[in-house]
Amino acid sequence: MSLTEDESEPPAEDTQSYGRVGVTFGDVGTTSLKFNVSSPVNKGEYIQIAHPNIGWVLGQIDKIERQSDLSVDKAEELNDGKEVDIDDTVIAKVNIIGYRDEKDLLRVPGNPFRAGEPVYLAEEELIREVLGLKEDKEGAYIGKLRGHDIRVSMNINTIAQKHLSVLAKTGSGKSYTAGVLIEEMLKNDVTMVILDPHGEYSSIAKSGSPKSSENFDVEPRGYGEKLNEFSPNPDINPNCQPLKFTFRNMDTKEVLEMCGLNKRKTYISSLEDAKSKLAASHGEFTVSEIIRLLKNNEEGGSTTLIKGLERLKEKNIFAGKGTRMDELVNEGRASIVNLKGTPPDMQGFIVDKIARSIFELRKREKIPPLIMFAEEAHNFCPQRGKVECSDTFRTLASEGRKFGLGLGIITQRPAKVDKNVLSQCNTQIILKVTNPNDLKAIEKSVEGMTKGMKKEIKRLPVGEAILSGAGLSEPLLVQIRPRESKDGGESICVI
Ligand SMILES: Nc1ncnc2c1ncn2[C@@H]1O[C@H](COP(=O)(O)OP(=O)(O)O)[C@@H](O)[C@H]1O
Ligand SMILES: [Mg+2]
């Protein structure tokens, strides 16, 4: 078979010989092949091989195995100290990734490679070209391809349009990685709302330590000038602006639910009467004013209702005039909703109010397009059971993209997140996961993951991730870049 004379024709043998790692043998396919390993290579490494009609094609080692003729009997002889001849060969199995055609589309060959064809370690230029890892102006620089000096960026618009999930067990670096993404988005003036149950993201305002940035071209930097922080508990979180909701805008039935009362007709009518009286005389009013009015009521207000409202008042999340959502969302900036110290039932309510208002305002284009990150998302959109914001998250996941509202789901329990929400997240950052149910949930939601990669998820060290979607042609193993800003999740030492 003769080779075509085009530019992609493989160069003469000697120019590549430094990186030659073996030769194909046995059954050689179009999308997978095997080669005997003549120089050390590792699982996950990229290789290149010449195809008779195409030129260089990129592949990745999915499995390596030493095959030997050592039988159990002979192993026993070895054990007894006898000398035994062992014939062995190391075999690597390759998944073919493909090549770029004249339209720059990723393709795999239509007919097989040759048997006996040399296999080489891939040159960085070919890896960049085939994987589409060119510099992207709208890219979020997440880290480097594992084992290579090649930057990996994810397209920010695609992330926003197709939703994102960051999945990993506790302590594997979810919050750290989400922080990297948020830094990149702030650099690109992306508007964000960050739902932060533990107050981990406040530290993005501060600069990180300089020594952590070697090899990644990362300069320490804080983003204080691009962050606003809100909290229902400014007493606990003193750097935050207060986050309050307008009591007048509350639905009566919702108020009763929050008071822990059933929706009895008498409660509904007393509360509605009191609300309309105060609205007529004051316009704005507080929970205290409702309580006062009910206490002064000639017929004597229901003590149960009054007690319920007193409990609600203690939660301290209502005001005559609440925080306006178009003040919470700021163009080109991130607003952290710091829920540290807020009880879980109130968190669900607060998140629901915010998410619903943002969605409504986005529909009417009253606020700029934005991305909403939800940390510990399994609490806001659980697969089993229901919380206040369950339905809202489903709606955002299925309809948000039409209105320029992207979702970023961060969770340590992918299996416990509503499948309807998770399946809509087409960009994934997966760090170490070991729970079998979580692994199953991930496998179902990620396309193009090889068997080798599935196994790899369980063994990923802290700081490494599998990236999928967002303009990447296929899932990639990436070393996450160091943070520019201070890491808010650093473990606390007890000694
Ligand atoms: N890419 C990384 N480089 C360096 N340290 C990291 C990286 N990712 C995580 N860490 C560290 O690992 C620990 C756990 O990270 P964290 O983001 O809090 O995990 P998670 O949110 O998944 O529980 C933290 O101490 C953090 O500083
Ligand atoms: Mg975390």
Residues 456 and 338 in one domain: yes
Best mutation site among 487, 492, 493 for ligand 1, i.e. most ligand atoms within 8 A of its Cβ? 487
Residues 257 and 203 in one domain: no
For 28, 45, 64, 329, 393, the CA distances from 54, given in Å and listed in that order, are 16, 22, 26, 51, 47
Cα 369 from Cα 400, distance rounded (Å): 10
Residues 168 and 271 in one domain: no
pTM (predicted TM-score)? 0.87
Give the Å distance between the CA of 11 and the centre of ligand 2: 49
- Confidence at 161, pLDDT banded by 50, 70, 90: confident
Average pLDDT, the chain: 88
For ligand 1, whether the C-beta of 209 sits within 6 Å is no
Q: Which residue has 């909703």 as its token pair?
A: 337
- Number of domains the chain is built from: 3
For ligand 1, whether the C-beta of 463 sits within 6 Å is yes
For ligand 1, whether the C-beta of 173 sits within 6 Å is yes
For ligand 1, whether the C-beta of 489 sits within 6 Å is yes
CATH number where 426 lies: 3.40.50.300
CATH number where 62 lies: 2.40.30.10
Q: Which of 286, 319, 352 is the last residue of a domain?
A: 319
In-domain check, residue 241: no
For ligand 1, whether the C-beta of 197 sits within 6 Å is no
In-domain check, residue 491: no
Cβ 336 vs Cβ 229: under 8 Å: yes
Residue nearest to atom 18 of ligand 1 (CA): 489
Residues 164 and 31 in one domain: no
For ligand 1, whether the C-beta of 172 sits within 6 Å is yes
Give the Å distance between the CA of 231 and the centre of ligand 2: 19
Higher-confidence position of 204 and 325: 204
In-domain check, residue 242: no
Residues 441 and 470 in one domain: yes
Residues 126 and 62 in one domain: yes
In-domain check, residue 299: yes
Residues 229 and 339 in one domain: yes
Give the Å distance between the CA of 450 and the centre of ligand 2: 27
pLDDT value, residue 5: 44
Say which amino acid occupies 246. T
Residues 19 and 144 in one domain: no
Domain range holding 416?
139-235+324-480
User: What distance, in Å, lies between the first and last C-alpha atoms of the chain?
Assistant: 70
In-domain check, residue 74: yes
Residues 308 and 422 in one domain: no
Q: Which two tokens stand for residue 262?
A: 């059933």
Residues 272 and 181 in one domain: no
pLDDT tens for 168-199 read 999 999 999 999 999 999 999 999 999 999 99
Question: How far does CA 149 lie from the centroid of its chain?
Answer: 23
pLDDT tens for 286-319 read 888 888 888 887 565 588 888 888 888 888 888 8
In-domain check, residue 267: yes
- Residue 271 burial (10 A CB sphere; 0-12, 13-18, 19+): buried
For ligand 1, whether the C-beta of 168 sits within 6 Å is yes
Ligand 1 atom showing the smallest separation from residue 489 Cα: 18
Question: How far does CA 85 lie from the centroid of its chain?
Answer: 52
Best mutation site among 165, 167, 169, 176 for ligand 1, i.e. most ligand atoms within 8 A of its Cβ? 176
For ligand 1, whether the C-beta of 480 sits within 6 Å is yes
Q: Which of 111, 131, 151 is the last residue of a domain?
A: 131
Cα 99 from Cα 127, distance rounded (Å): 10
For 145, 179, 203, the CA distances from 491, given in Å and listed in that order, are 27, 16, 14
Q: Which residue has 């729970």 as its token pair?
A: 435
Percent of the chain with pLDDT over 90: 60
Question: How far does CA 166 lie from the centroid of its chain?
Answer: 2
Q: Which of 131, 162, 182 is the last residue of a domain?
A: 131
Residues 225 and 303 in one domain: no
Residue 176: name the closest of 216, 203, 206, 195 by CA: 203
Q: Does residue 71 register a pLDDT over 60?
A: yes
Question: How far does CA 233 lie from the centroid of its chain?
Answer: 27
Q: Which two tokens stand for residue 340?
A: 């540290």
Ligand 1 atom showing the smallest separation from residue 410 Cα: 21
